[in-house]
Amino acid sequence: LNKFGIKAKWILHYPKMKKIKEVELKEDDKKELQRAIKEIEKIKLLNTPPKPLPKKICKKCAYYELCFVF
């Protein structure tokens, strides 16, 4: 959207934690996002996904099953 001159804000919704957070990207955030996208592209090229790194917050995450249930 930014490439087309559309200023946007994002809303992160954490259903199991019952939290909603509004996010506006700053320049440093955009650089970090580009770095993360490059890392994701590398992972996409792997034959098997990397093992998940469990953290305390994981069990409350709405996407828990995507990482830990095979």
Closest CA to 26 of 7, 40, 13: 7
Residue 16's domain comprises: 2-68
pLDDT at 12 over 70: yes
Neighbours of 33 (CB within 10 A): 11
Q: What is the pTM of this model?
A: 0.53
Question: Can you tell me which residue has the tokens 């970090």?
Answer: 32
Output Rg (C-alpha) for the chain, integer angstroms.
Answer: 15
Number of domains in the chain: 1
Detail the DSSP E strand segments found in the chain. 10-14, 19-23
Task: Output the six-digit token pair for 66.
Answer: 């995507």
Q: What is the mean pLDDT of the chain?
A: 86
Q: What is the pLDDT of residues 21-46, one digit of tens each?
A: 998 888 898 899 899 999 999 999 99
